Amino acid sequence: MEEQNKISRRKVIGGIGAGLAAAAVSPAFGATDVHTFGNWTAVKLEDPVTKYPKPPFKVQFQPWPGLAGKMEPIPDHGEKSYKGSGRLMGRKALITGGDSGMGRAAAIAYAREGADVAINYLPHEEPDAQEVVALIKAEGRKAIAIPGDLREESFCTRLVDDAVRGLGGLDILVSNAARQQAHDSILDITTEQFDWTIKTNIYAPFWLIKAALPHLKPGAVIIGTTSVQATDPSPELYDYAQTKAATTSFVRSLAKQLGPKGIRVNGVAPGPIWTPLQVSGGAKPDKLEKFGADTPYGRPGQPAELGSIYVQLAANDASYSTGQVYGAAGGSGQP
C-alpha cells in the first residue's frame, strides 16, 4: 500500500496508458476476474450492505469523551484501507477532534494525500491521539498534537496560532469536534449541559474561524462537520440538533461571505457513525444496541467511509463547490 501511495503522477498516467494498450491486445481481458491496468489491479466491487459490522452491538459505555481504542468493535478510520494519490500534497491542515471518529479518518486521509496535519483533542484522549500522530508520521508528513479544551476562546486562538507556527501556515481548517449527550426530556438538560454543548459546537467554530481567517489564502478551505440532525432532529438530541442546524447555517452564510475572497466553506453531514461520541452518552443504551439498524443498509457507517469526502471538499478540483453539505448516511436522512 505504501508503495502505491508513493507512485508518481507520471507513473500513474504511464501505467494507465500501458494497461489500456494491453487490454486492447489481450484476448484474456474480461475473461477472468483479474483485471490489470499496467501496474494497477482493478478495484473489487464491495457490497456496502455487508462491508462493516451490523447490529446488535454490545451495549457499552465509556465516560465522556471516550476512546476509539476501547470500543467494541474498534471503529475503522481507514488505517489499513485509505490510499492516497497526492491530492493534497504540501497542504497544511488543522483538524479539531482529530484523535478519533470522522476527525481521525480525515487526518489519515489528508496525510496519505500529502498534507501536514495538526490535530486537537482533549487531554484524556492522548492514547487515541498518539495513534493518529504515528499514522501521520508513517506517511512522512508533519504531525502536530495540540491538546486542549475548545470551550475557551483563549485556547481556540492559541490552537490556531500553534498550528500555524508548527505547520508553517494553514490551508485547511476542519472544525469537527462536538459534544453530544442524549436526554429523554428537555427537563433533564441543565443550563450547564446546554451551555457545554453550545460552547463546544457553536462558539468554538466561531472562535477558530476568526483566528484562522487572517492566515487563509485564496484556495484555502473551511470544512464543518454537521449532521443529518440539522434537518431531521431526534427527540433526545434537543440541544445537539440545534447546534448542527447552526453548523449547516454557518457553512452556507460564510461561503457567501468568503466566496469573493476565494475561500471555500463546506460541510459534511454524517448519519449514524460508529464513534466514541456515541458510546459516551451520545446514544441511549437501547439505541446503541440497534445502532444504524434503521438505515437502508441496516448498519452504522464507519469513519473510514467519510475520509474521502473531507479530501474531496479540500482538493483544488472541487473549486466550484462552496456552501455545500455532503451527506453520508447509508441512505437515511438528508444533509
As annotated, the active-site residues are: 240
Residue 222, beta-bridge partner list: 173, 265
- Contact between 113 and ligand NAD by CB under 6 A: the answer reads no
Among 227, 242, 248, 308, binds ligand NAD (CB under 6 A): 227
Among 22, 23, 122, 202, binds ligand NAD (CB under 6 A): 122
Binding letters toward ligand NAD, positions 2-41, x by CB under 6 A:
----------------------------------------
Ramachandran sector of residue 43 (left: φ over 0; alpha: ψ -120 to 50; beta: rest) = beta
Note whether 76 and 307 are within 8 A (CB): no
CA distance 205 to 108: 22
User: Minimum Å distance from CB 128 to Mg ion?
Assistant: 5
H or E element at residue 309: helix 307-314
- Contact between 180 and ligand NAD by CB under 6 A: the answer reads yes
Among 77, 93, 100, 116, binds Mg ion (CB under 5 A): 100
Interface stretch with ligand NAD, choices 8-16, 52-60, 120-128, 133-141 (CB under 6 A): 120-128
Site for ligand NAD in 78-107 (CB under 6 A): 96-97, 99-103
Note whether 167 and 116 are within 8 A (CB): yes
Binding letters toward ligand NAD, positions 291-330, x by CB under 6 A:
----------------------------------------
Interface stretch with Mg ion, choices 39-47, 111-119, 205-213, 268-276 (CB under 5 A): 268-276
The pairing of beta strand 221-225 with beta strand 172-175: parallel
Residue type, 229: Q
- Contact between 131 and Mg ion by CB under 5 A: the answer reads no
Residues belonging to the chain:
335
Which of ligand NAD, Mg ion, none does 277 bind, CB closer than 5 to 8 A by kind? ligand NAD
User: Minimum Å distance from CB 292 to ligand NAD?
Assistant: 9
Residue type, 99: D
CA distance 140 to 114: 9
Mapping DSSP to helix (H, G, I), strand (E, B) and coil, where does residue 93 land?
strand
DSSP string, 39-67: TEEPPPP--TTTSS--SPPPP---STT--
Interface stretch with Mg ion, choices 95-103, 109-117, 153-161, 289-297 (CB under 5 A): 95-103
CA angle 288, 70, 189 (to 5 degrees): 45
- Contact between 335 and ligand NAD by CB under 6 A: the answer reads no
Under rule CB under 6 A, how many of the chain's residues touch ligand NAD?
Answer: 31
**Counting beta carbons within 10 angstroms of the beta carbon of residue 189, is it exposed (0 to 12), middle (13 to 18) or buried (19 or more)?**
middle
- Contact between 76 and ligand NAD by CB under 6 A: the answer reads no
- Contact between 276 and ligand NAD by CB under 6 A: the answer reads yes
Q: How far is CA 114 from CA 33, 94, 107, 118, in A?
A: 32, 14, 11, 13
Interaction site with ligand NAD (CB under 6 A): 65-66, 96-97, 99-103, 120-122, 125, 149-151, 176-180, 200, 225, 227, 270, 272-273, 275-278
Interaction site with Mg ion (CB under 5 A): 99-100, 125, 276
